[in-house]
Structures are given as C-alpha cells and as structure tokens.
Chain A
C-alpha cells in the first residue's frame, strides 16, 4: 500500500510535469512560458523528495524556482514588448525546430530502451547532510572538491563578464 501511494504521487507529479512542459513550449507568451517552466521545476523537486533526496530537492527549489526563474522574469521584463510575444515564424524555422525536437526525442527514447540500467535500490532513508558536505569538499577518490572549485571559477568569470558588459566604459 505504501508503494501504491508513492506510485500515485509519482504519477501526479509526472502528469503535472508533462502538461506544464508541453504548455511551456506551445505558449506564445514568454512570461507564461516561464511560469509553466516553474511548474516543471517544482515537479522535479517533488521527484527528488519522493526519492528521499531532500538536499537535492531543496537545492532544486532554491536555485531554479528562487534563482533562475526570477532571473528569467527579470530578463523578460527588460526586453521590449515586441520581442516578448512570439509572432508566427517562417516555415523553415518550423521544420528546423521540429527536426531538432524529433531527433532529440528519438535519441532519448533509443537510449532509455537500450541502456542496461544497473540495479540500484532506492534510498530507504534520507542522506545525512554531513556526508554530502564531506563528499563535496573532500579530495579523496569519488570526492568532488575539484569540480566544485571549477564551477566557482566559472561563476566568477560569469560575474566579471556581466560587470564588463554593464559598465560600458
């Protein structure tokens, strides 16, 4: 029965994500697309929570819902009204977009159905936060201090670049 409730919650989340994702790409209004994307990201956070991975779920909500989407809204507000609502595009762009989407779908479906997934047991308890911290900052094997620092260098470069663009000297 407990597995059953999990399945129901999963299907609800999956349905929400699929519908919101379809709406996000079919709507002509960039603000609505952003909000639908927000629902997709909420659904992803929900998936992490039902997998008992609470840290990743909280990161998902903070970084994507609280950070990226707010940034998207800011960016959408800064662009002009003409660019905000999508008008009809040429048939060439339609076909190009459709081809890219169809290729992506085919590739993903092929990989999912042919890949031999390792037999991973789902987590039965929540991962302790100390373990995540030590793994993220440790320098032993299977620890992540180098990627962590590389990402911080990337972020620094992004900030310097943004400042250079904004200063206009």
Chain B
C-alpha cells in the first residue's frame, strides 16, 4: 500500500539537516498551509464546474459550453471576474464585522478541510480527538454567516442569517449523533485510526442496519448544514434576493461561495471517511488476490472517488426536491431526525456490546 509519510519524512529530515528544528517546523507549517490552501481552491473550482454540469444534466441542458472545450475554462474566467470586481463599502454598517464575516466562514471551512485524511500518511491535523475537533471547527462557521447578515444592515440579509442560524444549529445535533453512532462502532475518535480500522470491511458494511440509518441521517443533516438542497432557504432567491450575502461584492461574496462548496466537499469527505472507508481500498474478506489488486490503486484516488460519489448523491438531491418551508425544516430535524438518531445510537451500542457487528 502507498504510504505518503515516506515523502513527508524525507522532506522533514532534509530540512532538519539544513537548519535548527524549530525553524524547520516553521517552514514545514508554512509549506503544509500553502498546500492545503491550493488543494482547497483547486477542489472548489472542480466542484463549481461539477455543480453546473450536474445541474444542467438534471434539467436537460448542457451547462456552460462556450468557454474552452466543453466549458472547462468557464469557472476560471468566473474566478478572474470575481477577483477584479470592486469591493464596495456600505454606508451605515459595521464595517469591521462586515469585512470579518467572510473570513470567519472561510477559516472554519479551511480548518475542517485540513482534518480530512486524504491518503495513508497524508493527514494534516490528526490527533486523538480528530473527529470532535472537526465538529468543533465546523461549528463556528454559522457565526460568520450571522455576523454577515447582521452587519449588512439589510432586512433580507438579516432574515437569511436568522434562518441559517436556526437551521445550522439544529442540524448540527443530527450530524453529531450520527457521527457518534459510528464512533461507538469504531471505538476511536482519531481519523487515521478510524480509517485503518476499516481495512477488513467498511463501517457501513460492518455496522449494517444502524450504520446505514446513520448514513441516511448524516446525508440529510449534512445537506441542511451546508445550506443546500431542499434546505437552501437561507438564500432563497425568490424571497430573499440572495440571503445573508446579498450585500457582498467581489471576493467577499467569493469567499461565501467557495466556503459553501467546500463545506459540501467536507461533508462528503467526512461521510466517505467514517462510513465508506476513506482512502481504504475495497477489501473483501477471503479474496486475497482481489484485495492485493485493489491496493495498487492509490489511496487519494479512493478517497476522492468516494467523496465525489457522495457529492454527486447530494447534488442529485439538491436538483430533484423542491425547497422546504422553515417550519418544515425545523420539524424534520427536531421531531424526526433527532429521535430516530438517538434510538439508532442505542441500537448501535447494543449491537457493539452484543457483538452483532460484522
């Protein structure tokens, strides 16, 4: 199996041979940060293109076709347009909070993104409470959205932010409970450990019925957490123009846009890590030849393949179902998903205690 830590250890030793260890660690941190940001942007561009094409396919259209072959340069030109747009100052708003809000959203998203294990040895933030830390960092993104809505001094922004706050705070509960269900099964919170414990079978197979229920709850709650799909009423364009980012222009809007797409990637990445085995290749017990053949496919390919499969599922949901009302959204969470999730957690605990897992 490919192990990425060989490369990182080699770079580490090379740097340590040149300079004192403190400086080497500092340079490594800068390098890793730059790599994370580049991966963040590249994946965001890929996902925006994918969203347009998938959306077009579901609506029997072709999507962007004019710029570049099959529209491949469309997103790049959009990014260029976004960068050269003027950033406007609003009158009678809190300028400091107005300018801070997009950065809070992006900070939360980048921190969560860097927790994802991309391949063996390719984890940036990986320690004993990894999954919990990941939830912690994703939980203050809602603060940026609420500050954006408030500091825009605009009723539509405010209503969008309040809706978003109510929705994200509620659905975080379901995400947490379905993650806990899988933590009960795995017995660890460290993300690399979670992945390596799925080497014989992925958790969705190991935990059979309760794991599958948790997967469905996770997908619904994850869709709501990213303000997408049938839950996109914080930015319902027919009633609220654009919701909390109505007043933003240029890269201020761009940050919200990119963070929204990357939150979709993060939700799908976590789903593929804790349910579908992360970078772990498909292993079937007893078929050693098949397992060895699967190991030749690198972990990054497995991880990105599974993640984009989940993203495709979520996009399918988004472009199929009509938008819910706010009371329906809250009812779905508090009266259905949370009770089902808690009972499911109990069932999973029972299964693990009785040894009924595969």
Binding site for B on A (CB under 8 A): 1-2, 4-5, 29, 31-32, 35, 38, 54-55, 57-59, 61-62, 65-67, 69-70, 73-74, 77, 126-129
Contact = CB atoms under 8 A, between A and B. Distances in A.
Interface in B101-141: 127-129, 132-133, 135-137, 139-140
Interface residues of B, number: 33
Contact of B165 (A1, A32, A58, A70): A70
Contact of B132 (A62, A127, A128): A62
B204 to A, nearest CB: 23
Given A5-B22, A126-B127, A126-B128, A62 B135 contact: yes
B142 A129 contact: no
Interface stretch (B143-151, B215-223, B233-241, B288-296): B143-151
A4 B100 CA distance: 31
Which 4 pairs show the lowest CB-CB distances between chains A and B?
A66-B139, A61-B136, A1-B22, A62-B136
A69 B136 CA distance: 13
A69 B140 contact: yes
Given A31-B97, A66-B139, A67-B139, A73 B129 contact: no
B140 A66 contact: yes
B100 to A, nearest CB: 7
Contacts of A4: 22
Interface string B300-341: 000000000000000000000000000000000000000000
B266 to A, nearest CB: 15
A73 B94 CA distance: 14
A19 B189 CA distance: 35
B273 to A, nearest CB: 17
B128 A31 contact: no
A126 B189 CA distance: 13
B96 A62 contact: no
A38 B143 contact: yes
Contact of B150 (A1, A62, A69, A73): A73
Nearest to B161: A77
Contact of A55 (B22, B25, B129, B146): B129
Interface of B: 20-23, 25-26, 94, 96-97, 100, 127-129, 132-133, 135-137, 139-140, 142-143, 146-147, 150-151, 158, 162, 165, 169, 172, 188-189
A55 B132 contact: yes
Nearest to A72: B143
Contacts of A74: 146, 165
A35 B147 contact: yes
Of A2, A61, A65, the most chain B CB neighbours within 10 A belong to A61
Contacts of A38: 140, 143
Contact of A128 (B128, B140, B147): B128
Nearest to A78: B162
A2 B22 contact: yes
A35 B169 CA distance: 18
Nearest to B29: A5
A61 B97 contact: no
Contacts of A126: 127-128
20 contacts: A1-B20, A1-B21, A1-B23, A4-B22, A5-B25, A32-B96, A32-B97, A35-B97, A38-B140, A55-B132, A58-B133, A61-B139, A65-B139, A65-B143, A66-B136, A66-B142, A70-B146, A77-B150, A126-B127, A129-B128
Given A5-B25, A55-B129, A61-B137, A69 B143 contact: yes
A127 B140 CA distance: 25
Contacts of B23: 1
Contacts of B25: 5
Contacts of A66: 136, 139-140, 142-143, 172
A70 B137 contact: no
